[in-house]
Amino acid sequence: MRQVEIAGTPISRNDGVVKKKTPKAKLQAHGIRMIFRRDGNTISVLDDVGLEVGEGEFVCLLGPSGCGKSTMLNVIAGFLTPTAGQVLIDGEAVRGPDPRRIFVFQERGVFPWLTVEGNIGFGLFKLPKVERDERIAYYINLVGLPGFEKAYPHELSGGMKQRLEVARALAVNPDMLFLDEPFGALDSITRLIMRGELLRIWEAERKTIIFVTHDIEEAVQLADRVVVMSARPAKIQRTVEIDIPHPRDISSKRYLELRDGIFEQIGLAHKV
Amino acid sequence: MEKTLPIMNLFARLRPLGFIALLLMAWHIAVKFQRVQLLPSPLAVAHAIAELAQRGLLLKYVIASLFRVTWGFLMAAVLAIPLGLLLGWYKRSQLALNPLIEILRPISPLAWIPIAILWFGVGDGAAIFLIFLASFLPLVVTAMNAVGGIAGVHINAGRNFGLTPRQLVSRVLYPAVAPQLIIGLRITLGIAWLVVVAAEMIAVNSGLGFLIVDARNAGNRYDLVVAGMVMIGIIGLTLDIGMRSLEKAKSLRWGYSED
């Protein structure tokens, strides 16, 4: 990794795009390699991937399907141990999953045997009951699920399940959220609404968010910074700073410029 | 939901009973016109059941059979479910033990009767052992497969929220396998109930299975034979309904939906 760290201020290589100096690097991943062995074949999924994410930053990992961006997120979250390289969060090496950093799966991650309340309260087992109930009520409101406290996930729509999972993650007050194509299974209208909700929550709670997606528009709408990954074995192709304030006008010149730049980067002519 | 008149609803509920009544009538008529004795008439069977009840044998035999099933089945469940969960969790142990399980599984529990008698003598012990055998492997396999079917995201989510291994078992593993386990328990209880009858024909001198063999041996009382069969059917149905009612729990229903 050609990355220099001077007194906690990361300077990352990002192809001439000027990077905002974030006050503090929350996450630093160096030289991550991931090689899977399957039926005697070795498949290299991640090839020397490096990533820095600042405190409170919203970063999208963008790449084609199957490129290894999900694998990268699983490594960062501590679910997978990389073949080589290291992930540091707050200067500490990641050795496994941690309740300070919650992974949001697609909607199927909610526990089907628990009610909405039960799911949101799942990670709060160390709190006294009164406090736990307060938090559950707070997050049920935050994600717009009042009236569904006693409902089971199979009684909810896809969008509601997704919000429930986000609420379950937020309820334990993590510093970081890892979202793995969280809105991929939703219809396009619900997906747009969910993006707005996620931004609203992010602005309210200022978590550091790493968001994996293969949707270029989604990445440009949400992120402070889009990290474009190549096809497998994944490398970081380019990092693009999205310097448009929220709420973003998705027909503005700058938006289209950034979006088309990424389309070109990935090698897609933007015509259907 | 479509609206239906209450009277139509009642009619739908009574339909199976009506059909049974119709069959009983056909049975009765067929017996009336037969020249050789192939079956006792339904009335004779009803009388036989009443006779058994009067002599105090009905309750005694039913309890004797249920007692054996309860013990054999419970012991099997208590041992087989944790074992199956462990095997399912530790894939390597599953690979090691699976061939043995697959060899033992096709052996009918009834083939064990001589060995059961050799080990436990003629009596409750042998019968309970046979029921235990009949229930044990199906429950191991059910629990093992149920663990295999747990969604990886649920286990990862549990780990992510900082559960200890013990909490992971009680708060993720157990609720995740519960729907499958309950189906497995219901099916296995059905098998256990089949086996108790056979075990009682050979190993003991009480119970519904014994009643059937005894009634034939001691004077060809086919009315008692069929009475025993009817009781076995009714109790089997009751057990199944009882187990099915467990599946209606709201926290389990996700496991049975098609989604």
Domain count, chain A: 1
Q: Residue B161: its chain A contacts at CB < 8 A? A: 99, 102, 122-123, 172
**Arithmetic mean of pLDDT, A39-55:** 87
In this structure, the number of other CB atoms found within 10 A of the CB of residue B54 comes to 9
Asked if the structure places residue A267 within a domain, the reply is yes
- Average pLDDT value for residue range A107-122: 90
Residue A223, domain member (yes or no): no
pLDDT, one tens digit per residue, over A117-142 is: 999 999 999 889 999 999 999 989 88
User: Is residue A210 scored above 90 in pLDDT?
Assistant: yes
The verdict on a CB contact (< 8 Å) between B159 and A154 is no
Nearest CA in chain A to B178: A113
Averaged pLDDT for residues A85-106:
89
Dump pLDDT digits (tens) for A18-36. 445 545 788 888 888 898 8
Judge whether residue B243 has pLDDT over 70: yes
Instruction: Work out the minimum CA distance from A14 to partner chain B, whole angstroms.
Output: 32
- Prediction pTM value: 0.79
Q: Residue A108 and residue A26: Cα distance in Å, rounded?
A: 28
Please indicate, yes or no, if residue A70 is contained in any of the structural domains. Answer: yes
Q: Does B173 touch chain A (CB under 8 A)?
A: no
> Is A120 in contact with A145 (CB distance < 8 Å)?
no
Predicted local distance difference test score (pLDDT) of residue A47: 87
Closest chain A C-alpha to B173 CA, distance in angstroms = 11
Mean pLDDT estimate for chain A: 83
> What percent of chain B has a predicted confidence (pLDDT) above 70?
97
Contact (CB, 8 A) for A165 and A107 = yes
Q: What is the CATH number of the domain that holds A53?
A: 3.40.50
Report which of residues A197 and B99 the model is more confident about: B99
Q: Each residue of B96-114: b (16+ CB within 10 Å) or e?
A: eeeeeeeeeeeeebbebbe
pLDDT digits (tens, 9 = 90+) for B95-110: 888 899 889 988 998 8
Considering only the beta carbons, identify the residue of B157, B253, B255 that sits closest to A105: B157
Separation between Cα atoms, residue B210 and residue B201, nearest integer Å: 5
Contact B253 A152 (CB under 8 A): yes
Name the minimum distance, in Å, from the CA of A110 to any CA of chain B: 7
B43-256, CATH topology level? MetI-like fold (1.10.3720)
B216 touches chain A (CB under 8 A): no
Range name among A169-173, A234-238, B126-130 with the lowest pLDDT average: A234-238
Average pLDDT in chain B? 89
Contact list, B180 vs chain A (CB under 8 Å): none
Of A97, A108, A111, the CB nearest to B159: A97
A184: chain B residues, CB-CB within 8 Å: none
> What mean pLDDT do residues B37-65 have?
90
Q: Is A124 a domain residue? A: no
Q: Name the residue ranges covered by the structural domains of chain B.
A: 43-256
Contact A146, B245 (CB under 8 A): no
pLDDT in tens, B69-93: 999 999 999 999 999 999 999 888 8
Q: Does residue A233 have a cis peptide bond before it, meaning omega lies within 30 degrees of 0?
A: yes
Q: Hey, of A76, A80, A111, A179, which one would you mutate to test binding to chain B, going by the most B CBs within 10 A of its CB?
A: A111
What is the number of CB-based contacts under 8 A between chain A and chain B?
Answer: 59
State the amino acid at position A232 in one-letter form: R
Alpha-carbon distance B101 to B80, whole Å?
12
- Nearest by CB to residue B254, choosing from A97, A99, A154, is A154
Return all residues near A127 (Cβ < 8 A) that are at least 6 apart. A135
The predicted pLDDT at position B259 comes to: 47
- Note down the domain range covering A258: 1-97+230-272
- Please say if the pLDDT value at position A180 is more than 50: yes
Across residues A192-196, what is the average pLDDT? 85
* Rounded alpha-carbon distances, angstroms, from residue B232 to A163, A215, B121, B199, B213: 51, 62, 25, 14, 14
- Is A186 a member of any domain? no
Q: Answer whether B251 touches A (CB < 8 Å).
A: yes
* ipTM (interface pTM): 0.81
Residue of A107, A113, A114 to mutate, testing the B interface (most B Cβ within 10 Å of its Cβ): A113
Instruction: Flag if B153 and A99 touch (Cβ within 8 Å).
Output: no
Strand extents, DSSP E, B88-175 = none
Residue B67's pLDDT band (cuts 50, 70, 90): very high
Instruction: Tell me which chain A residue has its CA closest to the CA of residue B176.
Output: A113
**pLDDT, position B3:** 59
Contact between chains at B161 and A123 (C-beta distance less than 8 A): yes
Task: Give the per-residue pLDDT at A10.
Answer: 43
- pLDDT reported for residue A271: 56
